[in-house]
Structures are given as structure tokens and as C-alpha cells.
Chains A and B, each alone.
Chain A
Amino acid sequence: MAETTMDAFLGDNHDAILVAVAERMRGDEVMGDVATQRDLSQADMTSQVLGFWLQAIRTDLELGSTAALAQNFQWLARLRSGHDLPFDDAMVMRMFDEISAVIVARLDSEELRAEYDAYAGKVRVLVAETFPG
């Protein structure tokens, strides 16, 4: 059997991860405020944002970089400023932590966990730089 790679894992588990993270963030007040401002239900807003994040995370792990999520963060910062999106810096780290918790809980290999942890460490530095609050 071929060895599972991190990006293949994310491809195979995309929907399950999305549902699990959305469930964990269901009562998040800040996400609720953003959804209200965009005239979306909280569930739709969360799914939309998570879809972008998961695509970017998978791309990063496929390319061995943090370029995709870095671009998403820069984009998010510009959108927040341009569209007065009501989320604080802490929200970004919280969201990444929720996604990471779900991913790590589903990984059944130490090698993959180590790979993801190394990636997550770099992403947390990026988040802290872009959203320092």
C-alpha cells in the first residue's frame, strides 16, 4: 500500500475536516459578527473561510512552503481593512488552532504529525507577524 502523504490525507479528509472544524467554531461570536456583516449565515461564512484555508494548507504542504497561507493572510488583512470586517487578530490564530487540532487528531502516523507540527510552527510565526494582536 502506498504511504499516505500529508497532502493526500488532506485531500481525502477535506470534507470531514471542514465539518469538524465548523462544528468546533459553531458558537464563535466573532465569526458570527463577520457573517452578519456579510449577510451570510454563520455556517455558510465558516464553511467559505475554512474552504479557502484548507485549500491553502494543502497547497503549502504539497509545495513544502507557507506561500499559500501567507498570501491568504495578506489578503485577509487587506480585506479586513477595506471592508471593515469585524474580526480581531486573535480570531486568526484561534481559527488556525482549531483547524490544526482537528487535523492532528485525525493523523495516525507520527511522521505526519511531525510534518504537520513543523508546518504549523511556521504558520504561527506568520500569523503573529501579520496579526500581532
Chain B
Amino acid sequence: MELQEYIDHLLAGEDDICAAEGKDQAVDLQGLHRLYVDLIEPSQYRIGELWEGGKISVAGEHLATATNSYVASTCYAPLARATSGGPRAMIACTPEEMHELGPRMLADLLECDGWDVDFYGTSMPVRDLIGAIRERKPRFVGLSVALVMHLGSAKRTITAIREALGSETPPIVVGGNAFRGGEDLWRQVGADLYAKDASEAVQMLGALKG
């Protein structure tokens, strides 16, 4: 199914058709990667543009996002592995960041790759994130930022983690739409690593599995 056709189904609220397309594509792990990176992610960007352009309402945008979330969870579940005891990953959105589908997809793909993922969703408070890192000792922390105006918050979060944990700070990887605005933005917020999409992140983070 072409991207535009998929978007049309999203906007029509045809979650059954969208999920069927997702299942057709996600017959294996490679297929799930393609579904997330080549269909769900670009459809989300297009949905955002359509709302900005006044072509769809907020209701349309929310329906499409919720449908994509449903498709992702439906297609990921059969490929998920039992990961208790696997290397731990921690994924969160920075404070004030409310876009969670992107980091959710990364968490899914990491689970399928054998990581034991703690996913904290939107707007994770810094103090609690630091507490969770201390307690759960992840191999890395992934922070997602969708809006450029939230990069300052990301920088403050990373600085606070490093100040609190010192040499115990795990590698910090960042991603999300905000970093597409400039080559070095990920370095400017103080991250150790950056991945342009969830699929690239999984490949890169394999080196940290040990």
C-alpha cells in the first residue's frame, strides 16, 4: 500500500484496514522495521503537515495518531520476545514533550531485538528519571524530542543526569524530529549518540548490549 493510500485510511478511521496492512508488512522483524520507518513515521509527519495546513482538524490528527499507535502495537506484539533478564534500556520523552509514538516504536523494536525496555512515555520529570536510572541501571538512556523548542529542556535534562550520576551516567542517546533541524543539535544538548530513526537506533545500540 502506498503512503497516501495508507494516510487516507488513517484519516477515515479505518483502523482495521490499517492494521491489516501493517500485519501484511510485519511478517518478520525486518518487515516491522519497514512498517515503522517507511509507513508509520512518514504518515505521522504528513498528518502533522495536513493539520498545520488546515486540511484536517485536531480530531483528525488525533484519530490518525491513535490509529497508528494501534497498528504499531498490533503488529509488534506477535514479534515481541520475552526479555526479562536481557540488557536493560530506558526510553523517555524529555519534560514537556508530549509526542510519544516515535519513542514507543523505538521501545518496540528494541524489545524485539532482545532488550528489556523501560518505557516512560511523555514528559518524564528529571528528578524521577534520575531516580529510575539509579535504581534500574540501564545500559543506555534514550531521550526523544519532537519540537525544537524543547531542546533546551533536553539539554537541562542531560546536564542534570550527568551532574547527579557522574561517572555512573550511562550513554545517552537522543532522537526525534527536533534534531532534524541541524546536524549538530544532538551534540549541543550534550548527548553521546544520535540516531535519525528507530531502525538506525536499534542497529547502533546493538554495540551496547554486551
Contacts and interface: CB of A to CB of B under 8 A. Distances in A.
Given A55-B150, A56-B149, 18 more contacts: A52-B149, A55-B96, A56-B148, A59-B151, A59-B152, A59-B155, A61-B152, A62-B156, A63-B185, A63-B189, A65-B188, A68-B151, A71-B181, A78-B53, A81-B53, A82-B52, A82-B53, A82-B55
B152 A67 contact: no
A79 B181 CA distance: 19
A-side interface mostly: helix
Nearest to A11: B156
Given A62-B155, A67-B185, A55 B53 contact: no
Contacts of A67: 148, 151, 181-182, 185
B-side interface mostly: helix
Contacts of A82: 51-55
A63 B52 contact: no
Contact of A58 (B53, B152, B188): B152
Contacts of B182: 65, 67
Of all A-B residue pairs in the complex, the 8 with the closest CB atoms, nearest first, are A59-B152, A82-B54, A82-B53, A56-B149, A71-B148, A62-B152, A68-B149, A78-B52
Contacts, number: 61
Interface residues of B, number: 21
Interface string B44-61: 000001011111000000
B152 A7 contact: yes
Nearest to B53: A82
Interface in A44-81: 52, 55-56, 58-65, 67-68, 71-72, 75, 78-79, 81
